[in-house]
Each structure stands twice: as C-alpha cells, then as structure tokens.
Amino acid sequence: MKKVIVVTGICVALLIVVYTQFNGNTAKADPRGEDYAGAMACAKCHSKVYNSYLHTAHYMASTPASANTVHGSFAKGFNVFAIDSNQRIVMEKRDSGLYQTYYVKGKAKQSNRFDIVFGGVKGESYLYWKGNQLHQLPLSYFNLQSEWSTSPGYKFSFIDFRSIGKRCLECHVSYIDELPQQQLSRDEQFDKSTLVYGIDCERCHGPGAQHVSFQTNNPTVKTARFIARYSTLTRDQKMDMCAVCHSGIHTALLKSTFAFMPGDTLAKFKLPEFQHSLDTSHLDVHGKQLQLLKTSKCYMYSKMDCATCHDTHQNTRGNDILYTQKCLSCHNKPNHVYCKMTDKLSADVLKTKCISCHMPELTTNVISVLVADKAPPVRFFVHTHHIAIYPQEVKKILAFINK
Ligand code: HEC
Ligand code: HEC
Ligand code: HEC
Ligand code: HEC
Ligand code: HEC
Ligand code: HEC
Ligand code: HEC
C-alpha cells in the first residue's frame, strides 16, 4: 500500500515538473514586458479575428525567412541576377538556409543569409543579421512581376549592404530592443531575442495582458475591460492610430513609436510631414494615406476614418465590389451627392470601378527598382487616397469600357 502511495506521489511530482516546464516554454514572456500577452493569447477568445488576421499585410509586414515566406525562385535559371558580364548575384539554397551570394568573375566575394522578410504584397525585401546589426540584402523580389529585382535605392556601381535602422523596424515589426551603440559604428544594434514579428494585435490595440487575465477569470462578463476601446476615441485619435505608420517617413521622430498607444497624439512622437500631399511626385510606397485622405472632400465633409473603408483584420485587397459598397453607403441617389456619371455607366462598371476613376492607382516617382534584363527602372503603383475627379483616369476607363 505504502509503495503504491510513494510511486503515485513520485508520478504526480514528475507530472507537475513536466507540466510547469512545458508551460514555461510555451507561455514565454512577451519581450515588451508583463503588460503584454502576445497575439497567441488573443487567439483563444478572438479566434475568428485572429485567423483572418493571419492573411493580412500587417501580419506579413515582417516574418522569419524560410522557403515558405521567401517567394522568389531558387530554381536553376531563375536564381541569377546579372549586374554585368563580370558580376552576378545568385540565390542559393543550402542546409543552413537561403543565401544571396555575390560573385565577381565566378569567385564568391560575399554570401549572406536571408533572415527576415519584409512584405510580400507588391514586393518583398530581405534583412540579415551581422552580429547585432541588421542589413538589407541587395536583391528584393518584385511579387507583382514575379522577378528578382534590386532593392529600392540600390545602385550597382558598388555593392553596399545597407544598414537597417530602428526607423524601418518601427513600422514593420511590433517590437525590438535597441542595444547601446558600439564605438566606431554608426549603425544601430539590436537584441534579436526581443523581436516581435509583424504588426500584431497589441501594436494597434495596446497592451492586453490585464484584459486577458480579467476576461479569463470572469468568463460571464461579456463586455471588454482593460483594453482600449476604438469607439470611444476621438476622430483624431483614431486617425493617429494608423498614421503612426501611414503618414510618411520624411520627418524626424521625437521618440520611438513603439511606445505609441491608442489614444496617444502622434504629434508628440513625430514632427508633422511637409504638405506635399497633392503632389503625386511625393507619393511613395510608404504612402501618405493620412495626408491624402485629409485633403479629400469625403473626409472634410463627413466623419469617416480609415476603418470606414478598411477592416484591418481582413485581407480585402482587390475586393472592388466591397469598396464600392463603402462609397455607396454615403453616395447613393437619395443622399443627393452621387456620381453624375451614374446614368452613363452600366451597373457592372459602377459596381467595380468607383475607385478606378476616383482613387486611381498612380505610379510613385520615389520607389523604383531594376528588374533583371529590363533596362528602364520599374515603378510601383499606389492607390491615391486623395479621393477626387481625375479626368485623365476617367478618359482611360471610358476608352477601356467602350472598346
Ligand atoms: C478570455 C477571453 C479573452 C481573451 C484571451 C482576449 N479577449 Fe479581447 N475581449 C474579450 C471579450 C469577452 C470582449 C467583449 C466582447 C467583444 O467585443 O468581443 C473582448 C473585446 C475586445 C476588444 C473590443 C473592445 C471594444 O469594446 O472596443 C478588443 C480590441 C480586444 N478584445 C482585444 C484583445 C486583444 C488584443 C487580446 C490579446 C492580447 C484579447 N482581446 C484577448 C475576451 C477576451
Ligand atoms: C505599426 C505600423 C502600422 C500601423 C499602426 C498600421 N499599419 Fe497598416 N501597414 C503597415 C505596413 C508596414 C504595411 C505594409 C505591409 C506589407 O505589405 O508587408 C501596412 C499595410 C496596410 C494596408 C494595405 C493592405 C494590403 O493588403 O495591401 C492597409 C489597408 C493598412 N495598412 C491600413 C491600416 C489602418 C486602417 C491602420 C489603422 C487602424 C493601420 N494600417 C495601422 C504598418 C502599419
Ligand atoms: C513610416 C513607416 C514606415 C517606414 C519607416 C518604413 N516603411 Fe516600409 N512600408 C510602410 C507601409 C505603410 C507600407 C505599405 C505602403 C503602401 O502600400 O502604401 C510599406 C511597404 C514596404 C514594402 C513593400 C511591402 C509589400 O508587401 O509590397 C517593403 C519591402 C518595405 N516597406 C520595406 C521597408 C524598408 C526596408 C524600410 C527601411 C529602409 C521601410 N520599409 C521603412 C511603412 C514604413
Ligand atoms: C492595424 C491595426 C490592427 C491590428 C493589427 C489589429 N486590430 Fe483589432 N481593431 C483595429 C481597429 C481599427 C478596430 C476598430 C474597428 C471599428 O470599430 O471600426 C479593431 C477592432 C477590434 C475588435 C472589436 C471589433 C471586432 O472586430 O470584433 C477586436 C475584438 C479586435 N480588434 C481584436 C484584435 C485582435 C485579436 C487582433 C490580432 C489578431 C487585432 N485586433 C489586430 C485595428 C487593429
Ligand atoms: C462617410 C461618407 C463617405 C464615404 C464612405 C465616401 N464619401 Fe465621397 N464624399 C463624401 C462627402 C460628404 C463628400 C462631399 C460632398 C459635397 O461636396 O457636399 C464627398 C465627395 C466625393 C467626391 C467629389 C470630390 C470632389 O473633389 O469634387 C467624389 C468623387 C467622391 N466623394 C467619391 C467617393 C468614392 C469613390 C468613395 C469610395 C471609395 C467615397 N467617395 C466614399 C462622403 C463620403
Ligand atoms: C473611402 C474609402 C477609404 C478610406 C477612408 C481609406 N482607404 Fe485605404 N484604400 C481604399 C481603397 C479602395 C484601396 C485600394 C484597395 C485595393 O486595391 O484592394 C485602399 C488601399 C490602401 C492601402 C494600400 C495601398 C495600395 O495602393 O497598395 C493602404 C496602405 C491604405 N489603403 C491605408 C489607408 C489608411 C491608413 C487610411 C486612413 C488614413 C485609409 N487607407 C483610408 C479606400 C479607403
Ligand atoms: C468612368 C469613371 C467613373 C466611375 C466608374 C465613377 N465615377 Fe463618379 N464621377 C466621374 C466623373 C467624370 C465625375 C464628374 C462629373 C461631372 O462633374 O459632370 C464624377 C463625379 C462623382 C461625384 C461628385 C458628384 C458631385 O455632385 O460633386 C461623386 C460623389 C462620385 N462621382 C462618386 C462615384 C461613386 C460612388 C462611384 C461608384 C459607384 C463612381 N463615382 C463611379 C467619373 C466616374
């Protein structure tokens, strides 16, 4: 009898040890501190939001590099980018990962691993760790054209590996700790163990650990506690929540936007951008959606904010019908301000082309890349958020539909 009790006791003790070990490993503390719970913790109760969020550009804003997240081809014949007859960059798959290797006259000069992927919608760029510094690989992938291309801004008169600073990370990851700068180096240093990939739930909603513990301990309470409520923010506060990353990159930061919380005022973090808003030559892939929208009559004469048209938990890219419904929620005939072209256009065109005429895709003059074997630089397209009447675009659309 005694033996049985002792054995059972040992088994129970072992189980407890195994359980706490396992639990300790899975529930790793969030690098942002104990106020944060991490996106996995949100998935438990908000599984629908979480699962659709996994398909959004925000989730993809940064991911660990792997054969699944790097979309460019490593197959023979598709993995070489010739700079000129002597120099080439070759994409190589090895046991230790994916690499970009720079060859001069057939001799390998430098080889760096793909460690982090930024993006994947129009283009993707890659970073690698060099000690505690992050650098950008010279080649990016142009998803829209399915081709390797130069990273924006790269010129091949020399091969430099651009250092990536905190500024890029503040918009493309949810968090990383900076380390003290080393002497003799201008480049910022980071603690890679603290990197939180993607733009996650708490980057937008603020810290949620207390919310998680309250709702877990009070399952009968069906209203949210201890989490910022979007509906109670002022319009400016709502706009600032997105403007943290969607209002351009051309002015200095006063402090790190990693500390920005819903309800904060962006002006305390970032000097205002210059008012180039309407000049499309200043539209870049790091678009100034905030400034462009604010100069639109739609914005000035209504209470709209970014979430009027965008459900940030879903990938609605290319869903023109859905966006048309958003337009029509304000611009239907009984509402008086409706499209003067309504009677001249077929129902089909109206259903899908509001944005083609009023928020057209325009080329950026700032971001261009070189694609292998194609001489002129290729420019990126961006939907302008200055909603207006664009006679040139209207002409193009009319010519297209009357063909
Ligand atoms: C134990 C369950 C539980 C967990 C875990 C949980 N929530 Fe919630 N959350 C709720 C409940 C219940 C509500 C109120 C009902 C609703 O709005 O869905 C809510 C509401 C919210 C709201 C809406 C607030 C409002 O009223 O505008 C946000 C935002 C939110 N949660 C974010 C998060 C985030 C971020 C996490 C992860 C850090 C998280 N939740 C984890 C239960 C949970
Ligand atoms: C912390 C930075 C950050 C914040 C805050 C942020 N975004 Fe983004 N957003 C990004 C980045 C980075 C991308 C591009 C990601 C990519 O393509 O990899 C992006 C992409 C998008 C896209 C394009 C989606 C697509 O499928 O092409 C939309 C729309 C968008 N954001 C809307 C919003 C709205 C609305 C808000 C506020 C509620 C917001 N964002 C807040 C960084 C942010
Ligand atoms: C102020 C915030 C901000 C900064 C700083 C920033 N980005 Fe972005 N980036 C964005 C947003 C927002 C988008 C999506 C823009 C759009 O579609 O208009 C984007 C898009 C991209 C894309 C294309 C993603 C895709 O899926 O097509 C790449 C690649 C990229 N950024 C790399 C970088 C690099 C590298 C840096 C630093 C040199 C950087 N970004 C700095 C906000 C930022
Ligand atoms: C890019 C910013 C952004 C990210 C990332 C984000 N949210 Fe939201 N979320 C919003 C905004 C904006 C609203 C308010 C939408 C509205 O009310 O129009 C919202 C609303 C909510 C709500 C209440 C309404 C609803 O749709 O159920 C919950 C719950 C929520 N978010 C949970 C999450 C969770 C969980 C994640 C991560 C899986 C997440 N959010 C990621 C911006 C974001
Ligand atoms: C929240 C309501 C709302 C939404 C949603 C909305 N608009 Fe508007 N829009 C307005 C208001 C209000 C005006 C100003 C009307 C006036 O001049 O009295 C306006 C003006 C316009 C104008 C005239 C612009 C000019 O410079 O003369 C166009 C074109 C337009 N909207 C197109 C659109 C399109 C396309 C969409 C969808 C992508 C859209 N709107 C979504 C409210 C909205
Ligand atoms: C009146 C509706 C409307 C509002 C309001 C709106 N957007 Fe958009 N947005 C669109 C449409 C339409 C597209 C094109 C979507 C597509 O092609 O799938 C778009 C595309 C985008 C993109 C991707 C750009 C590109 O061309 O690839 C980003 C980023 C974005 N919006 C951010 C924002 C932010 C941030 C705000 C608030 C400052 C905002 N949007 C407000 C309608 C809107
Ligand atoms: C083929 C291009 C085209 C399409 C598609 C189109 N519009 Fe228009 N829209 C125009 C033109 C051109 C004008 C200016 C007409 C004029 O002033 O005579 C206009 C004017 C407007 C105005 C301003 C009306 C006013 O009184 O100032 C609004 C609002 C508008 N459109 C909304 C929409 C919406 C919503 C859709 C989709 C359901 C849409 N448009 C589809 C070309 C287009």
Q: Calculate mean pLDDT across residues 124-139.
A: 94
Query: Which residue puts its alpha carbon closest to atom 27 of ligand 5?
Result: 388
Cα–ligand 1 centroid distance for 45 (angstroms)? 7
Specify the range with the lowest mean pLDDT, choosing from 79-88, 183-192, 296-305.
Answer: 183-192
Structure tokens at 305: 């904010």
Cβ–Cβ under 8 Å, residues 380 and 367 = yes
The whole-angstrom separation of Cα 155 and Cα 163 is 15
Task: Locate 342 and state its tokens.
Answer: 């309504």
Burial class (CB in 10 A: 0-12, 13-18, 19+), 366: middle
Q: Note the pLDDT tens digit of each residue in 144-158.
A: 889 999 887 776 655
Contacts of 69 (CB under 8 A, 6+ apart): 63, 117, 120
| Residue with tokens 């709702």, as numbered in its chain | 215
250 — pLDDT class (breaks 50, 70, 90) = confident
Q: How far is the CA of 302 from the centre of ligand 5 (A)?
A: 8
How far apart, in whole angstroms, are the C-alpha atoms of residue 163 and residue 147?
24
The answer, yes or no, to whether residue 54 has pLDDT greater than 50, is: yes
Query: What are the angstrom distances between the C-alpha of 162 and each of 18, 98, 147, 159?
Result: 45, 19, 21, 9
CB 120 within 8 A of CB 144: no
For residues 197 and 215, what is the distance between their CA atoms, to the nearest angstrom?
Answer: 25
Amino acid at 397: I
The residue count for the chain: 403
Tokens, residue 399: 């010519």
Residue 20 pLDDT grade (very low, low, confident, very high; cuts 50, 70, 90): very low
- pLDDT of residue 2 exceeding 80: no
How much is the pLDDT for 16? 45
Instruction: Summarize the confidence of residues 246-266 as an average pLDDT.
Output: 91
348 alpha carbon – ligand 6 mean position (Å): 22
Q: Residue 358: which of 349, 368, 367 has the closest Cα? A: 349
* Position 83 confidence tier, pLDDT thresholds 50, 70, 90: confident
Percent of the chain with pLDDT over 90: 64
Atom of ligand 6 nearest to the CA of 361: 26
What is the distance in angstroms between the CA of the first residue and the CA of the last residue of the chain? 92
Dist. CA 159–CA 291, nearest whole Å? 35
Q: Lowest-pLDDT range, 96-105, 109-118, 281-290, 389-398?
A: 281-290
CA atoms within 13 A on the CB side of 49: 13
Measured CA to CA, the distance from residue 345 to residue 367 in angstroms comes to 35
Mean pLDDT of 65-81: 95
Tell me the mean pLDDT in the region 302-324. 96
Confirm whether pTM is higher than 0.85.
yes
Yes or no: say if 79 and 73 are a contact pair by the CB < 8 Å rule.
yes
- Taking CA atoms only, the protein residue closest to ligand 7 atom 1 is 394
Residue 58 CA, ligand 2 centroid: distance in Å:
5
- Residue-level pLDDT at 24: 39
Ligand nearest to the CA of 60: 2
Measure the CA–CA gap between 318 and 171, rounded to whole angstroms.
23
Indicate whether residue 318 lines ligand 6 (CB < 6 A): yes
Pull the structure tokens for residue 143.
Answer: 């998803």
Mean pLDDT score across all residues of the chain: 87
Q: Of 195-209, 257-271, 373-387, which gets the smallest average pLDDT?
A: 373-387
